[in-house]
Amino acid sequence: MSEASPAKAYGLHLGVIALLFVLSFLLPEYYHGLLARIMVLAVFATGYNMLFGYVGLLSLGHAMFFAAGLYGAGLAVIHLGWNVPAAFAAGIACGAVLSLAIGLLALRTTGVAFMIVTMMFAQVSYLIILYFATWTGGDQGMVVPQPARILTFGATSLDLTNPTVRYMTALALFSIVLLVTLAIVRSRYGRVLVAIRENEERTKMLGYDTFSNKLAAVVVSGTICAASGAAYALLFGYVGSSFASVQYSILPLLWVLLGGAATTLGPLIGTLFMYYVIDVSSGYTSAYLLIVGVALILLVLFFPKGILGSIRQRWLEWLP
Partner 1 sequence: MHFGPHLLLAALEGLVTSAVLALTALGLSLVFGVMRVVNVAHGEFFMLGAVLAWAITTAIGGHPALGFLAALVIAPLIVGAIALVAERLVLRRLNYNPEATIVATIGMLYIIQQLALTFYGPEARPVEPPFSYRILLPWFGYSGYKLSVIATSALLLIATWLVLTRTRIGLVMRSTQYDSETAQAFGIPVGRVYAGVFALGAMLAAIAAVLIVPISQAHYLMGQDPLLLSFIVVIIGGLGSLRGTVVAAVLIGMSDGIISMFFSPTLAKIIATLLVAMVLVFRPQGLFGTASR
The DSSP 8-state label assigned to residue 223 in this structure reads H
Interacting span for partner 1 (CB under 8 A) from 30-38, 67-75, 112-120, 234-242: 112-120
Query: Which is closer to partner 1, CB of 2 or CB of 286?
Result: 286
The single residue among 19, 26, 112, 205 that binds partner 1, judged by CB under 8 A, is 112
| Minimum distance of partner 1 from residue 118's CB (angstroms) | 9
The single residue among 6, 15, 109, 164 that binds partner 1, judged by CB under 8 A, is 109
Q: Does the footprint of partner 1 cover residue 14 (CB under 8 A)?
A: no
The single residue among 36, 38, 68, 117 that binds partner 1, judged by CB under 8 A, is 117
Q: Does the footprint of partner 1 cover residue 300 (CB under 8 A)?
A: yes
Q: How many CB atoms lie within 10 A of CB 208?
A: 15
Q: Does the footprint of partner 1 cover residue 289 (CB under 8 A)?
A: yes
The single residue among 8, 297, 317, 318 that binds partner 1, judged by CB under 8 A, is 297
| Minimum distance of partner 1 from residue 190's CB (angstroms) | 21
Q: Does the footprint of partner 1 cover residue 215 (CB under 8 A)?
A: no
- Three-state SS string over the chain comes to CCCCCHHHHHHHHHHHHHHHHHHHHHCCHHHHHHHHHHHHHHHHHHHHHHHHCCCCCCCCCCHHHHHHHHHHHHHHHHHHCCCHHHHHHHHHHHHHHHHHHHHHHHCCCCHHHHHHHHHHHHHHHHHHHHHCHHHHCCCCCEECCHHHHEEEECCEEEECCCHHHHHHHHHHHHHHHHHHHHHHHHCHHHHHHHHHHHCHHHHHHCCCCHHHHHHHHHHHHHHHHHHHHHHHHHHHCEECHHHHCHHHHHHHHHHHHHHCCCCCCHHHHHHHHHHHHHHHHCCCCCCHHHHHHHHHHHHHHHCCCHHHHHHHHHCCCCCC
Q: What are phi and psi of 316, to 5 degrees?
A: -105, 85
| Minimum distance of partner 1 from residue 158's CB (angstroms) | 39
Q: Does the footprint of partner 1 cover residue 18 (CB under 8 A)?
A: no
Sites for partner 1 among residues 48-77 (CB under 8 A): 58
The single residue among 18, 22, 124, 206 that binds partner 1, judged by CB under 8 A, is 124
Sites for partner 1 among residues 269-288 (CB under 8 A): 287-288
Query: Which is closer to partner 1, CB of 10 or CB of 303?
Result: 303
| Minimum distance of partner 1 from residue 31's CB (angstroms) | 26
- Binding footprint of partner 1, residue count (CB under 8 A): 38
Interacting span for partner 1 (CB under 8 A) from 6-14, 41-49, 92-100, 245-253: 245-253
Q: How many helices (H) and strands (E) does the chain have?
A: 14, 4
Binding site for partner 1 (CB under 8 A): 58, 105-106, 108-109, 111-113, 115-117, 119-121, 123-124, 127-128, 130-131, 246, 250, 253, 257, 287-290, 292-297, 299-301, 304
